[in-house]
Amino acid sequence: MAEMSVIWLRVAAALYSLGLLHSILMLVRRREHLFGVALGAFALGAVFHFVSIVDEGILSNRCPIANTYETLSMCSFLVAILYLFVQWRYKMASLSAFIFPLVFVMSLMATLGNPVGAWSNPVVRNVWLTVHIVLVLLGIAALVVTAVASLLYLFQERELKAKKPRKFYYRLPALGTLDDLISRSMGVGFVLMTLAVIAASTWAFIEHKTAWISQPDIAISFFTWGTYLVLVFLRTTAGWRGRKAAIMTVTVLGFSAITWVAHSRLGAMLLHQ
C-alpha cells in the first residue's frame, strides 16, 4: 500500500478505536452514554478510510483489492458504511457492540501491510510478547469462569423448569446472580482477548513482516476472536441465555484451547530467549 494511504488508514483506525472503547465500556460498565461520541468518531473514521481507499486506487490505478490487506481495508470500509446507513435508517445502536470492534480490528490488520524495520531492541520484543501471552491467559481464565457459570446456569434453569427442587436447586446460586457473573466475566474476557489480538497482530507484523497474515495459526486466532465477538454480540443484543449461550460459550472456549495449542511455540520461544 502507498505510504499516504496507510497514514489515512491509521487515522481511520485510531478513530474507530473510540468505537471499540465504547463497546468495552458498554460490556464492562454497562454505560452507553459515550455512544454519540463513538458514532461521530466512527463516521469520521469512515471518511478517512474512504480517502485512504481512493488514494490507494488513484496511485495504483486499479481497484484496491489486489492483496489481503487491501481487501481487508475495503471490506471493513464497506461494513462501516453499511452500519452507518443502518444506524441512520433504523437506529440500531445495539449493533455497534458487534460492528465497532470488528471494523477496528479489520482496519488495524489492514494498516499492517507495509513492513517496518526490525525490532529496535530485543527486550521490547520479549516484553511485547509477554504482554500478549499474559493477556491471552487472563482472557482464557475469564472465559473459563464464563463457561462454568453458564453450565451452572443451565443446571439451575433445568431445576426451575422441572419444578421439583432437588439438590442443585438448593446448592446453586440464583439465575440472576449467575447471569450477572456471566455478563461481567464475558465482558472482561472479551476486552482482554481483544487487547491480546491487537498486541499479537502488531508483534507478528514486526516479527514476520507482511508474511504474518497468511499464517494458519494467526487465522485461527482471528477466527476464535470472531466467535467470541459473535457470542458477546448475541448476548448483549439478543439476550442469549441458558442452553444456547452455554453451548456457544463452551464452543468459544474450545476454539481458544485450539488457538492456545496452535501458539504453544510462543511461550517456548520466550523461554529460550
Give the interface with other proteins as residue ranges (CB under 8 A): 156, 160-161, 163-166, 169-170, 173-177, 179-180, 237-244
Rounded to whole angstroms, the Cα distance separating 96 from 77 reads 15
Neighbours of 217 (CB within 10 A): 16
Minimal distance, residue 60 CB to other proteins, in Å: 46
Rounded to whole angstroms, the Cα distance separating 123 from 128 reads 8
Minimal distance, residue 252 CB to other proteins, in Å: 19
Closer residue to other proteins, CB minimum distance, 89 or 163: 163
Closer residue to other proteins, CB minimum distance, 175 or 220: 175
Closer residue to other proteins, CB minimum distance, 166 or 265: 166
Minimal distance, residue 177 CB to other proteins, in Å: 4
Rounded to whole angstroms, the Cα distance separating 22 from 30 reads 10
Minimal distance, residue 155 CB to other proteins, in Å: 12
AA letter at 8: W
DSSP character for 173? P
Closer residue to other proteins, CB minimum distance, 132 or 235: 235
What is the tally of helices (H) and strands (E) in the chain? Answer: 10, 0
- CB contact set of 151 (below 8 Å; sequence gap of 6+): 246, 250
Minimal distance, residue 165 CB to other proteins, in Å: 4
Cell numbers 502507498 correspond to: 2
Q: Helix 264-271 to helix 242-262 angle, to the nearest 10 degrees?
A: 40
Closer residue to other proteins, CB minimum distance, 90 or 120: 90
DSSP character for 93? G
Minimal distance, residue 248 CB to other proteins, in Å: 13
Closer residue to other proteins, CB minimum distance, 54 or 174: 174
Closer residue to other proteins, CB minimum distance, 128 or 169: 169
Q: Which long-range contacts (CB under 8 A, 24 or more apart) does 72-76 make?
A: 72/106, 72/107, 72/109, 72/110, 73/1, 73/9, 73/49, 73/106, 73/107, 73/110, 75/106, 76/49, 76/102, 76/103, 76/106, 76/107, 76/110
Closer residue to other proteins, CB minimum distance, 25 or 246: 246
Minimal distance, residue 198 CB to other proteins, in Å: 30
Minimal distance, residue 158 CB to other proteins, in Å: 11
Cβ atoms of residues 97 and 236 within 8 Å: yes
Nearest alpha carbon to residue 7 among 60, 73, 92, 97: 73
